[in-house]
Amino acid sequence: MSTSMTPLSQRPLDARRGKQTNTRCRTHRPVRAASYRPRAPSAAGAARATTTAKPDSAAQLKASERAAGSSGCPRGGSWRVHKFGGTCVGSPERILAAADLVRQQLVEDKPGQNRVLMVVSAMGTDPKTGVKTTDALLKAVELASKQDPASSDALEEVRQKHIQSATELLGPGEALDTFLKVLDRDCEDLNAMLRAIRISGSATDAFSDFVVGHGELWSAQMMCAALRMKGAKALWMDARDVLVVVPTSDNNSVDIKYRLSNENLDKWFDQHGVEEDTIIVATGFVARDPSGTPTTLKRNGSDYSATIMGALLLAGSITIWTDVNGVYSADPRKVSEAVSLVQLSYHEAWELSYFGANVLHPRTTLPAMKYNIPVIIRNFFDLDNPGTQISNFQTEEMDCRKAGQAAVKGFATIDDVAVISVEGTGMVGVPGTASAIFSTLRDANVNVVMISQASSEHSVCFCVKGADAPIAKQALAKKFESALASGRISKVEVIPDCTILAAVGQGMCARRGVSETLFSALANAGINIKAIAQGSSEYNITIVIDSADSVRALRAVHSRFYLSETPLAVGVVGPGLIGQTLLKQFEEQRNVLREEYNIDLRVLGIASTARMVLSDTGIDLERWSEEMDSRGEDADMQKFTRHVHASHVPNAVIIDCTASEVVSDYYAKWMEDGIHVVTPNKKLNSGPLARYKAVKELQKKSYTHFFYEGTVGAGLPIIATLKGLRETGDKVNKVEGIFSGTLSYLFNTMKPGMSFSEAVADAKSNGYTEPDPRDDLAGMDVARKVVILARECGLDLELSDIPVESLVPEPLRNVEDVDEFMAKLPEYDTDMEAKMSEASARGECLRYIGTVDVANRCGRVELQSFPASHPFTQLTGSDNIISFTTARYKAQPLIVRGPGAGAEVTAAGVFSDLLRLAAHLGAPS
């Protein structure tokens, strides 16, 4: 080792900071001790911790009385316990940062509130070496039990990691020499232990615990040495000298022996003569059993050490320093908009952790709960974040956006479970059936995760881990063999590939409508529920769903409680004139939708023929075109679909603003995947009948919606009116009208003396026609609308069944050049002039009409003449007009009239369909 290097602890803080990284947190920032302001417990909290805590034995009472000052350990709310996880002490820089953080608190605390105990884990993954101490020690034990000499190599990796870290941390001198002597002596002992394990070919729990616990011993000694070199008074505590534990009945955890541990704590303080401002650095994870044999605290052992120490000290607070910003409302890996919760009750923390949330293990909170000590989970790499406080204290702060939503704090899931159902009429009213079921599972060593039973007692269903399902079924089949044979029990059924979704919140018991909100969110997302369970405490509602719906369900319920009542993930295909206008309308109305209608509309993808732009959280609609240019990618409809569907927003909808046959071919697949479709594109509804019927049948059988109001009347409510008439029992006899804004404008503006070609040129110059006016004059657009309406009326018509009177002179239909067409069109004005003269002689006007003759089951598109008093002749500009003749509206047809063309009104019609979709989510399509 170099003797000229400056120890890290003596370098300026900025010089030793280094880049702090962690695979679990992408936005870690350097720890700045000076910026740390610990959140002190409230006065009520301190009072409860110091005055209302009830010792559980005479020995504890005696110990607590010593807080006034005789011998032993002083106890009370002046103690602050800080636990630093392996990530927080994974490198010399981080050890120093933790030391500075705690020293800063001592400086800032008021007199009498300056007692600190640190609990440290073994060094986690070092960005430089990549070695994680506990994993490496476990690997050494595993290799030794396999009689593999490489176990010594694994231990040597750990030794070198600590030599390198201590050298950088402490620099040459007595402190380093002392630590390295201890390290070498310990490693000699561990090598001897590994040799013994290799010889026997197996490792007992006691051997394994002895080896693995050394990581905490070394990190505690390094932390203590670093504090001393920084000028602080510090002592390190081997928790095995204090904590006495016994294994629980399932051997998965341990129970603390408070009397013995309190006595040991007093002895430790007496032996070491601890002064008031001394920082105590205790080892996490390790303890002893009553016989004195070293052991560990099992799962989440270091966190458990911290809460036990807090309970023994009757501390004012316990802070768990980790690499996340507290407890989240949902798994942020699955729900990108999950938020860090400000506060949880102990019960809420229990429930969330049971269902797999990244919270303290339920057993870990017991010591703190016993004495009402708040546990604060903080991010070591984000000191500005207040983290999450877990306590029994109530707060008026609301974690949810709305006060009415604060009943639910968070959501969690357990994946890969199976539902087992035991059913039979012979179970009704028979005592002991449930006992027989669950005792059988206990004997088979199968853990039950959730139980649900109908009040009829006809069936009992419960959830187990997916891997345990075959064992459970076999054990139950054997237990009830005679009952199954006789028919008293009809079946033992296993439903695999399920997920448990839990909604947790202590406020649910006092809030009406939480279950309804939860279930409606799932229904709106098209998610089926297999089983439900809720305890009388109402701290959680548990739901079983298909594993395939796990992420979507989690996003759906989280969005409903934390975002808005109706979140929509929108993909727009075709940012042409209508698409651009629609996006502009979205941007203008987005805040209104959120604030007044509780609709959270997010455009997650925009795709043109060649390019597309995607976003996980929502595209900036003021800059979408720039984003398409700057970070767009080649259009890929399959990738586009996956992105919109897989977003954290549960209700996915794709809006097709194209006139493309190719895009309309995707509708069926989108709907099969649960994606709603909104479109003004006429191609599917007027295309091949079989394809149309397939999509409509799919729509009927699902909760996936298909809205297409814009296909006929742009923004006019033509489809909605027709559906309303039929759904209310009216009989539609005829639907006819002027469906083309272009042709409406053409005949509304043809005044005496104006030729047909002049009228067409005028319409084209004013933007009322397609670039090639023949697309309008041919009448096929009107024919498609007639087919759409005919099918809505129940007629099975193809586009080829509709006779169409084209206004394009036959000789000009195949002219390739538009300009040539326009130049030659005047040559055929005489034909139209003749028709107009004939109509005028009768006092009538020409209009281009589409008709659905329901009674005769046919349709047609043709030029007709009407009296000057007829509604069809009263139009101006490009307005459309549609007449519905029905059994109820026979003498006086129902008329719908208004603008039927233009990007603004068409986009508005599509927008209206989207809002209609939001209102129909969860209802059968």
In the residue annotation, 731 being an active-site residue is answered as no
Q: How much is the mean pLDDT over the chain?
A: 86
User: For residue 42, is pLDDT > 60?
Assistant: no
pLDDT tens track for 56-105: 433 343 344 343 334 799 999 999 999 999 999 999 999 999 999 999 88
User: For residue 37, is pLDDT > 90?
Assistant: no
CA atoms within 13 A of residue 701's CA, in its CB half-sphere: 9
Higher pLDDT, 520 or 827: 827
User: For residue 116, is pLDDT > 80?
Assistant: yes
Grade residue 538 by pLDDT with cuts at 50, 70 and 90. low
User: How far is Cα 73 from Cα 66, in angstroms, rounded to an integer?
Assistant: 7
User: How far is Cα 800 from Cα 688, in angstroms, rounded to an integer?
Assistant: 10
pLDDT tens track for 701-758: 888 999 999 999 888 999 999 999 999 999 999 999 999 999 999 999 887 788 999 9
Task: Report the chain's C-alpha Rg in angstroms.
Answer: 38
Q: Which helix (H) or strand (E) holds 465?
A: strand 459-465
Residue 46 is predicted with a pLDDT of 35
User: How far is Cα 512 from Cα 416, in angstroms, rounded to an integer?
Assistant: 32
Specify the residue for token string 């007629």.
795
- Tokens representing 643? 């992105």
Helical pair 301-313 and 258-272, crossing angle rounded to 10 deg: 80
- Tokens representing 620? 């900036």
Q: What angle do CA 381, 383, 384 make, to 5 degrees?
A: 130
Residue 62 is predicted with a pLDDT of 39
Average pLDDT over residues 664-687: 95
CA atoms within 13 A of residue 370's CA, in its CB half-sphere: 21
Residue 647 is predicted with a pLDDT of 67
pLDDT tens track for 587-604: 999 889 888 888 889 999
User: For residue 16, is pLDDT > 50?
Assistant: no
Q: Which of 105-114, 281-290, 719-728 has the lowest mean pLDDT?
A: 105-114
Assign 3-class secondary structure to 272-290.
HCCCCCCEEEEECCEEECC
Instruction: Evaluate whether 668 touches 687 at the Cβ level (below 8 Å).
Output: no
Higher pLDDT, 700 or 911: 911
Grade residue 768 by pLDDT with cuts at 50, 70 and 90. confident
The helix/strand count (H/E) of the chain reads as 33, 30
User: For residue 237, is pLDDT > 60?
Assistant: yes
pLDDT tens track for 426-482: 777 778 888 899 999 999 999 999 998 766 667 899 999 999 999 999 999 999 999
Residue 32 is predicted with a pLDDT of 32
Q: Which of 96-110, 279-293, 524-538 has the lowest mean pLDDT?
A: 524-538
Which one from 257, 785, 824, 890 is the annotated catalytic residue?
785
User: How far is Cα 137 from Cα 193, in angstroms, rounded to an integer?
Assistant: 12
Q: Which neighbouring-strand residues pair with 895? A: 883
Grade residue 111 by pLDDT with cuts at 50, 70 and 90. low
User: For residue 48, is pLDDT > 90?
Assistant: no
